[in-house]
Chains A and B, each alone.
Chain A
Amino acid sequence: MFNYGYFSFASKEELLTKAAEYWNPGKVKFWQDAGTPMVIDRREGYFLHDMTGKRLIDLHLNGGTYNFGHRHPELVEVLKSGLDYFDIGNHWFPSVARAAFAEKLVATTPHMKYAIFGAGGAEAVELAIKTARYATKRKKIVSIIKGYHGHSGLSVATGDERFSKIFLADRPEEFFQVPFNDPDALEQELKKGDVAAFIIETIPATYGFPMPEDGYLKACQDLCHKYGAKFISDEVQTGLMRTGVMWGWQGYGLKPDIFVCGKGLGGGIYPVSACMVTEECGQWQVEDGAAHISTAGGSELGCLVGHHVLEMLQRPEIISNIDFVANFFARSMAEMMARHSDLFVGVRQRGLVLGLEFDHPEGAIAVSRALYENGVWAIFSSLDKRVLQFKPGVVKDVELCQEIMDRFDAAMPRARQLLRSMRRVA
């Protein structure tokens, strides 16, 4: 019996039935078919507990949402303390939490002028696109093929058609895609003189973290400026120290005109996102501050948590821990690849952002399942199923990291077996 006080379920099976019936049959079926039918019950630190009691180490982190792990005690304390004083606030008015958080965000990136808040990453992307259009008085937005920036009206139009066509939300007349790591293709679009912005994830997550080639991002930024377009960095998965610096673009010597962040900004306990803009881009806030409004965007509770998330990420102990974790997995993955070279063929890594390549078009699905069976939860890349997203958090400790690698090693024979049967079917 799973009695939660407010509701109860007799079993995991009952929950799955009801979830399929009332919530989302497609998602329920998908995970059952994938062999990873997780229903997250208890959670703490980097651990998830399925309703069956099975414990999983979380390496998915929802793209960094759980950068600090689940329900980090310090962040929970901050939110609880905030609830004794604030609520989500009233977006119309200036607020202490919003002003303080905006100032703290701007301080991390001095060339930016304003922080504009939303409730989620997609909203921040909407803000970014709207801002670029305002600043350039142009409409066209260029993104990369297999890029991903969210599911709302403008953001979904930048991404893969899998997510837009089904809702007739693709806008081919305004949104163009160019291949990743191909600055010439971008230039061809920019040359037309009608592009408002080029938006790109600093390392494209849903595409499996392919690494930008040396100089690629800088070339894109310079090309944008050459042709009067804005360069937008999507930092939803690469921001917040995940690549070893506060914002991923800082590590590539960039100075985006606009960038967006979300996910981990709210510490996994209260949603908040931000779109950071330069003074020039942010002029619409001077002209008409209420041109974009959002009831839950920049909620005061979210701002309070976000403020503390930034403070924690700036501590020397955290920065050092990130370094240890990143180096550990660099070393360990190289060893693991040597031990399992028949299927494990590549590692893409920058800081705590890793993509592991397997030698099969759907290799990462098999590995994800094998890891799941061995107590580790890591998700494949939706847009490149050869690649497993492997995303350790910033406060992982040495013992847990070692345990992950031990479990990883133990999962490889099972992954091999699953792949063999997948090949037979193919």
Chain B
Amino acid sequence: MDGGARLNVPDRDLSSAHMKVGRAAWAAKYYQTFDREAVLRIAEAVAKAAFDRAAEFAELAVEETGYGVVEHKTIKNRLCTHDLLDHYRDMDLVTPRVDEDRKIIELPKPAGVIFALAPVTNPVATVYYKSILAILSRNAIVLSPHPMAKQSSVAAARAVAEAAEAAGAPSGLIQCVEEPSVPLVEEIMASDKINVIMATGGNMMVRAAYSSGNPALGVGPGNAVAFVDPSAQVDAAAKCLVDSKSFDNSILCTNESICLTLEENFDNVKRALRTAGAHVCNEEDTDRLRSYLWGDKGFNLEAIGKSATWIAERAGIRVSPTAKVLVPVVPKPGQDDLLFKEKLCPVLTLTAAVDFQQAVTFAKHAAKRGAGHSAAFHGNDQTHLVAFSQAMPVYRVVVNAPCSQGAAGFATYLPPSFMIGTGYSGRSSIGENVGPQHLVHWTKIAFGSDVPANLEVVDLSQTTQTPAPTASPMATVPDPSPQTDRNEIRQLILEELRSLKGSL
């Protein structure tokens, strides 16, 4: 055969994707009547299955994309299983709410069919996270992975889908597009059979989601500034920064891009970063790194998610083989240096302002490149913390913790999330860490304020049903002792986190 096919063949992948959406609508129809017990049973089963294969899929993702670190991806994947579920377990999005004082009854109405993009940077974690959000909010989900991460994403989606169905979920509740492409995503996003889009990924995709005509929850890029205040315990701060920047080779959009301090503290911070495992660059190294990372066509994509030593070698910088992070130094916080842009790799630009006011001014402008996203503050000066947070166009300021994990809710009490809402500052409809509550709207039954109404006698039992046991051949007997299991797993995760955060 030469010259390709003699006939035009319809885009089978596109056609199948439309059919997946139709199938999801059926699944959603039935699933949105499920009671809370059934929803939690499915969520538990999915969390368990996802946890069990987290390491396998982490390996697959790194192998496929070349981004990140297997060990760290494993942790991220696992965090999107039992921990995510534990965080939302008590958030009831199934049972009607009755407010007798205000004479209002609220009935939950799930969105229906979610179309969700999963990025190349966190493919498996995003599949886990969005699937569990869909389950908890009683929605069906069709995932569309990044083409470079399709194998691992599809495998992960299949694993959670099978676990969900085995636990009684309707068939088709969780599906994944096997052969994604930009035209496919654009067409499906614009389909009137989609109820909401969860867009994570490049700016182009997120904007396309908002332009699709469908409701969309989108996020934007980050460019986190970490301010090390003179009041900070410099060594602890440096350790946070190095742990955060080296975590999964900085592939999370919440990773610190710039470490900003005051001149009085500059040498101290440099020393602490070195001690924590960073390679602090001299002027020449800084120049080499800059020209390696920014070629003619913008950021050098091959550097994304690679290790510090790998990047150093490519950039022609001699570093210790144990170097975890590269720290180029720009002595004055001007705005124009390329090194102040977002870097999804373990490169952290260090700079120093003359005083706190200049620091805030610089941080504010640098953060506009990742508007609405995240920032970090290290120190104990509460006045500075509030002034910094008030000035920054971000919706998360992580204090005395690694920003990569902290802003995503894994080293703070923020909701664990792989969708960091960048809000109005970042041209997004949502400014917080996206959770299942964002996928449900409520019908409010409001009685006249002056009219007598007895809400106690209203029977709301018919709004949900105990689903009939599934006759699926895949059905398995539910685990009789999930609680013990989960506690063991939690311990494992906590240990991993502790080792990661060191002193924290």
Contacts and interface: CB of A to CB of B under 8 A. Distances in A.
Interface in A269-320: 304, 308, 312, 315, 317-318, 320
A78 B9 CA distance: 7
A335 interface: no
Given A317-B16, A320-B172, A395 B8 contact: no
Given A317-B20, A318-B19, A399-B25, A82 B10 contact: no
Contacts of A82: 7
Interface in A313-332: 315, 317-318, 320-321, 323-324, 328
Contact of B7 (A81, A312, A317, A399): A81
Given A398-B26, A398-B29, A81 B9 contact: yes
A13 interface: no
Contacts, number: 54
Contacts of B9: 78, 81
Interface residues of A, number: 23
A85 interface: yes
A85 B23 contact: no
Interface in B13-30: 15-16, 19-20, 22-23, 25-29
Interface in B426-456: none
A321 B7 contact: no
A74 interface: yes
Interface in B128-151: none
A371 B10 CA distance: 36
B20 A397 contact: no
Given A317-B20, A395-B19, A78 B25 contact: no
A84 interface: yes
Given A74-B15, A397-B193, A320 B7 contact: no
Nearest to B8: A81
B19 A317 contact: yes
A320 B8 contact: no
A419 to B, nearest CB: 32
B178 to A, nearest CB: 10
Nearest to A72: B15
A77 interface: yes
A324 B25 CA distance: 10
Contacts of A78: 9-10
B261 interface: no
A84 B26 contact: no
B16 A315 contact: yes
Contact of B8 (A77, A317, A321, A328): A77
Contact of B19 (A81, A315, A398, A402): A315
Contact of A397 (B8, B22, B27): B22
Contacts of A328: 26
Contact of A395 (B22, B27, B29, B171): B22
B6 interface: yes
Nearest to A85: B7
A84 B22 contact: no
Contacts of B172: 320, 324
B274 to A, nearest CB: 56
B171 A398 contact: no
B26 A77 contact: no
Given A323-B171, A398-B29, A84 B7 contact: yes
Contacts of A318: 19
Nearest to A312: B15
Contact of A324 (B8, B16, B23): B23
A102 B455 CA distance: 67
* Interface core residue of B8, B9, B20, B22 (most chain A CB under 10 Å): B22
A320 B25 contact: no
If over half of B's interface residues share one DSSP class (helix, strand or loop), that class is named, otherwise mixed; here it is: helix
B195 to A, nearest CB: 12
* Interface core residue of B9, B15, B26, B28 (most chain A CB under 10 Å): B26
Nearest to A399: B25
Given A315-B19, A397-B25, A320 B10 contact: no
A245 to B, nearest CB: 16
Nearest to B175: A317
A85 B6 CA distance: 8
A85 B193 CA distance: 35
Nearest to B22: A397
Contacts of B8: 77, 81, 84
Nearest to A75: B10
A84 to B, nearest CB: 7
Contacts of A320: 23, 26, 171-172
Contacts of B25: 397-399
A346 B347 CA distance: 72
A399 B16 CA distance: 19
A85 B20 CA distance: 31
A82 B8 CA distance: 8
Contacts of A323: 171
Interface in B24-43: 25-29
Contacts of B26: 320-321, 324, 328, 397-398
A397 B28 CA distance: 12
Contacts of A399: 25
A38 B476 CA distance: 51
Nearest to B27: A324
Nearest to B9: A81
A84 B15 CA distance: 22
B168 to A, nearest CB: 15
Contacts of A308: 10
A315 B26 CA distance: 17
* Interface core residue of A74, A323, A402 (most chain B CB under 10 Å): A74
Interface string A371-399: 00000000000000000000000010111
Given A398-B26, A398-B29, A321 B19 contact: yes
A321 B6 contact: no
A78 B25 CA distance: 27
B411 to A, nearest CB: 41
A292 to B, nearest CB: 29
Interface string A382-426: 000000000000010111001000000000000000000000000
Contacts of B27: 324
Interface string B315-343: 00000000000000000000000000000
Contacts of A324: 23, 26-27, 171-172
B141 to A, nearest CB: 15
Nearest to B193: A397
Contacts of A315: 16, 19
B320 to A, nearest CB: 52
A258 to B, nearest CB: 32
Contacts of A397: 22, 25-26, 193
B405 to A, nearest CB: 38
A308 B8 CA distance: 12
A150 B13 CA distance: 38
Nearest to B112: A398
A323 B29 CA distance: 14
A317 B171 contact: no
A322 to B, nearest CB: 10
A402 B112 CA distance: 15
The 9 nearest A-B residue pairs measured at CB? A317-B19, A324-B26, A81-B8, A77-B10, A398-B25, A74-B10, A397-B22, A81-B7, A398-B26
7 contacts: A85-B6, A317-B16, A317-B19, A318-B19, A321-B23, A324-B172, A397-B25
Given A315-B16, A321-B23, 17 more contacts: A74-B10, A74-B15, A77-B8, A81-B7, A84-B8, A85-B7, A304-B7, A312-B15, A317-B16, A321-B19, A321-B22, A324-B172, A328-B26, A397-B22, A397-B25, A398-B26, A402-B29
